[in-house]
Structure 1
Amino acid sequence: MSGLKLRGVRKSFGSVEVIRGIDLDIEPNEFVVFVGPSGCGKSTLLRMIAGLEGITEGELDIGGTRMNDVDPSKRGIAMVFQTYALYPHMSVRQNMGFALKFAGVAKDEIDRQVDEAARILELAPLMHRRPGELSGGQRQRVAIGRAIVRHPEVFLFDEPLSNLDAELRVHMRIEIARLHKELATTIIYVTHDQVEAMTLADKIVVMRDGSVAQVGSPLTLYDDPDNLFVAGFIGSPKMNFLKGVVAESGADVRLPEYGDQIIPLHDSVARPAAGTDVTVGIRPEQFEPDGRTKLDLKIEMIEHLGGETYVYASHNDGEVITVAARDARAVKPGQNFVARFNPTSVLLFGTDGNRIR
């Protein structure tokens, strides 16, 4: 299978630059997810790789060949769109084999390839049906099967699960992960859902405003974000951010909005100058009953999710903090609540939004 290289890739629509100098390496057989908020450029970048949008500047290499000016049909890629785009008057078999028939492939070979794709996707009992007789998940599997029969070097998925309900999305995530393992091919997958990104990807590309905010494995981005944007985007519920200031000693951070609670800086963190404003990041699950630092809060809302409980609380009606609480079935809104954490759990960010390391 083929890998990809993007070097200085830019895209402009008139005077508006939407992709701003992206450099990226995607290895053969890697499952890479482009993730980010709406309008960040992830779908545009995918369409540029597919050849559906031109490249204003920079180079795209697929499998060692420069692809900037190569026709989409000759790039060795297959794309699965958000909408299924199936022919309503054709059966599942006819939909899956249409591209091969159009290319002049012999009928026996079309049947063989379609049957193999149907086996992989467990579509064999549905081959005679038309799209109107299928569920949303079944239609999406047919759309994926139509891509599989082309034997592409690279699969491109553009938010393929966004039209499905929550339960079916989980099922299809498992199906796509299994498909990647069975086909052993390169997949580039676009989504705005960071849970999809975390569960599917070998490598995540977090995008913001047409640029790459950070690239890394799911757990690397979760545990070691480079900036506030990535720290807040990756993780559900998202990371808590507390306003702090470096104490006169230079060895601690004060939290003025939380009764001047002190967080000792651990040795692995750089020491900003006294008086420097910082942002303290801590994830909901990092609060611990025996933590050294405590926050005195009042509960505003509680989410009991069965196996876990999230407490949403604030100090003097300030910023709401999310705490993953253990044994919290008896707590109620309006009650006082003490949240504790250890200083070694926190991350520090500067006023420029970048991580202080």
Structure 2
Amino acid sequence: MSSLKLTDVHKSYGKLEVIKGVDLEIQSKEFVVFVGPSGCGKSTLLRMIAGLEHITSGDLEIGGVRMNDVDPSKRGIAMVFQSYALYPHMTVRENMGFALRFAGVAKDQIAKQVNEAARILALEPLLDRLPKELSGGQRQRVAIGRAIVRNPQVFLFDEPLSNLDAELRVHMRIEIARLHKELQTTIIYVTHDQVEAMTLADTIVVLRDGIIEQVGKPLDLYDNPANLFVAGFIGSPKMNFMAGVVTASGHGGVTVELTNQGKAHVVLPLSGPAPAVGAAVTVGVRPEHFGLAGSGGPEITVAIDVAEHLGSTSYIYANTKSGEQIIIEREESRHELGHESITVAIDPAKTFLFSAAGERLR
């Protein structure tokens, strides 16, 4: 399997620049997920790696070899698309072996590689069926099998689960994770679903507007987001953000008044430079980091709007008087859920602080 490197990669369509200088190194056998909102450039970047889009400037290397002008068929990659793109008149066996047959591989070798891919994907009982006789999940496994038989250096997945229902998406996530573990291959996977990114990736690349916002392991991004965008995008439900203003600033920390939360004050430790008194900031708290009233830390009271009960966990969607929405996670304790309002405590040790420009203050 091969490593992959992107150096100052740009992509423009006329005067419209959609990829704005991407630098990224992907190690051999790594599972990397490109994640971001629609229009951030993640699929365009994947198609540039595949050779389906021309690189305007910059360099792409696979296995240490520059690939900018190499034909897609010779890059050692295999791509699985959002649509299954199976030939309706061919059986599963024929669909999986078509690329090998087109390349002139011997019939016995094709049979061997198709049978091995079918074993890995549990498709052996389905080899003689037509695509119309398969479920959505089975068709996606065939599409993955068609990529496996080519024995590529790098697998590219472009939102492969978006056409499946919720239950099948969970099942296929497990299948793809197991596939990576068995094949020990390099995988680049594109999705807008941050839950897929968190559960599948060794490394997540968060993209916005054609640039990389942050690269890191899933829990590193969750625990230490670099900026307001990453903090809000990684995590489900999303992080809560509350407007604040610095009322005291000194060595080792600041005091922030939550301007829309009844003038509550939070004292936050900082190891780096502190913002000046009067500076506008944003305080971030994840839903699971709100404590019960009386558990210590500053308290805020919010009006309950909706409560979602998911068994052992409930999510409370509440609003402040100023209209800011707050999401609060509760496990086991549900006594507040019949009330019109709830008071919760903020733990400063688990609170994030961001500048007016959206940069993380640490």
Which TM-score tier does this pair reach, normalised by the shorter chain? over 0.9
Question: After the TM superposition, which residues 97-136 of structure 1 pair with which residues of structure 2 at under 5 Å, given as runs?
Answer: 97-136=97-136
Corresponding residue SS for 2:29: coil
Q: Percent identity?
A: 66
Q: Quote the Cα distance in structure 2 between the aligned partners of 1:87 and 1:337.
A: 57
Aligned-pair distance for 1:185?
0.4
How far apart are the structure 1 equivalents of 2:297 and 2:41?
A: 42
Q: Is the 8 A contact 1:301 1:333 kept in 2?
A: no
User: Structure 1 CA distance, aligned partners of 2:341 and 2:3?
Assistant: 55
Could you say which residue in structure 2 is the equivalent of 1:338?
343
How far residue 341 of structure 1 moved from its aligned partner, in angstroms, is 2.0
Aligned residue in 2 for 1:356:
361
Q: Secondary structure at the match of 1:132?
A: helix
Q: Which residue of 2 aligns with 1:298?
A: 303
Contact 2:37–2:192 (CA under 8 A) maintained in structure 1: yes
Residue 329 of structure 1 is aligned with which of 307, 311, 334?
334
Tell me which amino acid in the other structure corresponds to 1:130: L
User: What aligned pairs does 1:67-82 form with structure 2 within 5 A after superposition?
Assistant: 67-82=67-82
Task: Compute the displacement of 1:249 (Å).
Answer: 5.3
* Aligned residues of 1:304 and 1:329 also touching (Cα < 8 A): no
Question: What SS does the aligned partner of 1:32 have?
Answer: strand
Residue 23 of structure 2 is matched in structure 1 by 23
Distance in 1, matches of 2:332 and 2:131, equals 48
- Mapped pair 1:282 → 2:280: no
SS at match of 1:243: strand
Deviation at 1:291, TM superposition (A): 3.4
TM-score by length of 2: 0.96
Determine the C-alpha separation between the residues in 2 that align with 1:7 and 1:50. 16
Query: Which residue pairs with 2:183 in the alignment?
Result: 183
Q: Which residue of 1 aligns with 2:35?
A: 35
CA RMSD of aligned residues (A): 1.2
Residue-by-residue CA offset, 1:114-145 (whole Å, 9 max, x unaligned) = 00000000000000100000000000000000
Aligned to 2:321: 316
SS at match of 1:339: strand
- Aligned-residue offset at 1:317: 4.8
Gaps of at least 5 residues in structure 1 are none
1:202-281 map, 5 Å: 202-248=202-248, 250=250, 251-268=254-271, 270-281=273-284
- Asked if 2 retains the 8 angstrom alpha-carbon contact of 1:300 and 1:333, the reply is no
2:4 matched residue in structure 1: 4
Question: Superposed, which structure 2 residues align to 1:133-144 within 5 Å?
Answer: 133-144=133-144
Q: Note the C-alpha offset of 1:298.
A: 1.3
| Paired AA for residue 255 in structure 2 | D
Q: Decide whether aligned partners of structure 1 residues 244 and 269 sit closer, same or farther in structure 2, where only a CA change above 3 A counts.
A: farther
TM-score by structure 1 length? Answer: 0.98
* Alignment match, 2:46: 46
Q: 1:49-81: per-residue Cα shift (whole Å, max 9, x none)?
A: 000000000000000100000000000000000
Aligned with 1:219: secondary structure?
helix
Matched-pair contact (CA < 8 Å) for 1:4–1:61:
yes
Output the CA distance in 2 between the equivalents of 1:202 and 1:248.
Answer: 40
Is the contact between residue 300 and residue 334 of structure 1 (CA under 8 Å) also seen in structure 2?
A: no
Q: Distance in 2 between matches of 1:6 and 1:318?
A: 43
Report the Cα distance in structure 1 between the residues aligned to 2:321 and 2:88, rounded to whole angstroms: 58
Closer, same or farther: CA 260–317 of 1 in aligned 2, 3 Å: closer
How many residue pairs get matched?
357
